[in-house]
Structure 1
């Protein structure tokens, strides 16, 4: 069984939540991976995140504004203190194109921030909401490397019911409108499933947002 024989179709996972399989072509995957490797370098590079008294298993890099437990800042206040790396206009254009393909109108606020999350074989992400932004623009997520299980729940609490979607290398996932503040997480990845030609061990998730901040 191969994806060529059984292609994956666009799926409306929930109202306002759209899965776009294989949205990134091979050239975009390699270009985005190269950019992630540059962003991961210090200063303001890939860091271990302390949150809620614990340490997250996912490591992160912020673009545009630095996300931390207190919200957003211009510098890596919980790390090396360096100014956050700039948000590239091309990444905003890529996110806007994915949002349009998912059926969303152009957002009033420009895409101007992103989180790059790196998952090793044991990393996971607990259920949470992206609620520190001041813009209702849809969130756009790009996946590189290993496949993961992406869990989408409701807007009121972290518990069931939820829907699990398998996100593979090159997939985009967009959630806005009634799903903009939905709880979501990654309960597990599938180590060793990254395309061998990509040259990545583990999973990268690039989540692009509009901050709505001055």
Structure 2
């Protein structure tokens, strides 16, 4: 058991290779943490968090909203991107400059120069919420990476392979950590184990995950 969670010890500022094309940048977002959280508050005021339905009719345990040109949505019609919030009919809130700049910088640090996200999916995890293993494959061009920023409570990130049955590695993601994956690992299965109870000085009993994509 100790060996299984050896990589989940308390992290320090660092760069860690997770797989070919995948990088974990520890604490990379801390310099702008307050600006990021302020952006989340402003976005969710205009486009409130909601627990979307899967095509099978199940309610997701993670609450979501979006910003940018496109927003990721799911309902009985399927998974997709669309430019308007289905609940309001209005365009999703603009992506804050600090969001875009950090995502582009993190992508460049991971070796993906020129990444320009047009969508940011914001997930809100409360204790008991989880994200099952899945691939991000609703985007039109898999040449672009995924950039994922963690804020608030720590969570256990699972990163597998191209098949759902491939072995997964577990990494503790803490406030300010950024994961970037693309290239050979762009379609790797990944997920988040059930969030544990806790209290973070910046977010209370919540974890936010900002996931940047090039949708179109």
Is this a same-fold pair by TM over 0.5?
yes
Aligned to 2:85: 76
Partners of 1:154 and 1:199 in 2: how far apart?
32
Instruction: Write 1 or 2 for the structure with the bigger share of strand.
Output: 1
Shift of 1:80: 3.4
Aligned to 2:151: 144
Shift of 1:168: 0.3
Partners of 1:206 and 1:199 in 2: how far apart?
14
Contact 2:106/2:180 (8 A) holds in 1: yes
TM-score for the superposition, normalised by structure 1: 0.86
Contact 2:126/2:206 (8 A) holds in 1: yes
Where does structure 1 lack aligned partners over 5 or more consecutive residues? none
Q: Give the CA RMSD over aligned residues.
A: 1.9
Shift of 1:50: 0.5
Shift of 1:154: 1.1
- Which segments of structure 1 move beyond 3 Å, counting only runs of 4 or more? none
User: CA deviation digits over 1:70-94, x for unaligned, max 9?
Assistant: 41112122x3333222223432221
Provide the aligned length of Structure 1 versus Structure 2. Answer: 201
Pairwise mapping of residues 144-183 of structure 1 onto structure 2 (< 5 A)? Answer: 144-155=151-162, 157-183=163-189
Partners of 1:199 and 1:150 in 2: how far apart?
19
Contact 1:124/1:186 (8 A) holds in 2: yes
Shift of 1:203: 0.2
Partners of 1:19 and 1:134 in 2: how far apart?
25
The equivalent position to 1:114 in structure 2, one of 120, 132, 137, is 120
Contact 2:128/2:196 (8 A) holds in 1: no
Partners of 2:101 and 2:44 in 1: how far apart?
21
Aligned to 1:22: 27
The equivalent position to 1:201 in structure 2, one of 181, 201, 205, is 205
Look up the SS of the partner of 1:41 in the other structure. helix
Contact 2:29/2:102 (8 A) holds in 1: no
Shift of 1:185: 0.6
Partners of 1:104 and 1:67 in 2: how far apart?
22
